[in-house]
Amino acid sequence: MYSRAKARTVSATTIRPCGAADLPALFSIVNDAAQAYKGVIPADCWHEPYMPLEQLKREIGEGIAFWGYESGSTLVGMMGIQDAGRSASSAMPTCRAPSAAKVSARCC
C-alpha cells in the first residue's frame, strides 16, 4: 500500500520537440556527451568538436527530429528520431555528461 511518508519531491521535467532556438543547446549536449567516449571512439573517428554544428544542421535537414528533456528550464538531454521507412525508426538518445544515462556517440 502507498504510504505518504515515503513520497518524495520530484523536480519538474519536460520532454518536448526541439526547434531552431534549441540548436545551441543540442550542439552542446551532443559534444558534451561525446567527451565520455573520448579514447573509446577510434582515433580516426574522433575530432573536435565531435559533431560539428554544420553536421548537426545537415542531419536535421535530412529528417532527424530532436526531442529534448528539460530539467527545470534547462535542456539536459535529447533524442534524435528519424523515420527509417516501412520497417523502423532510428533514435540517438544523448545527455550531458556526467550522467548515468550516457549512451554511445555516433562515429564518423
Determine which of 3-7, 28-32, 77-81 has the lowest per-residue pLDDT on average: 3-7
Q: Considering only CA atoms, which of 68, 53, 62 is closest in space to residue 19?
A: 68
pLDDT tens readout for residues 17-69 = 999 999 999 999 999 988 988 889 899 989 899 999 999 999 999 888 999 99
Q: Considering only CA atoms, which of 103, 61, 107, 57 is closest in space to residue 79?
A: 103
What pTM was computed for the model?
Answer: 0.71
Q: Provide φ and ψ at 92, rounded to 5°.
A: -135, 85
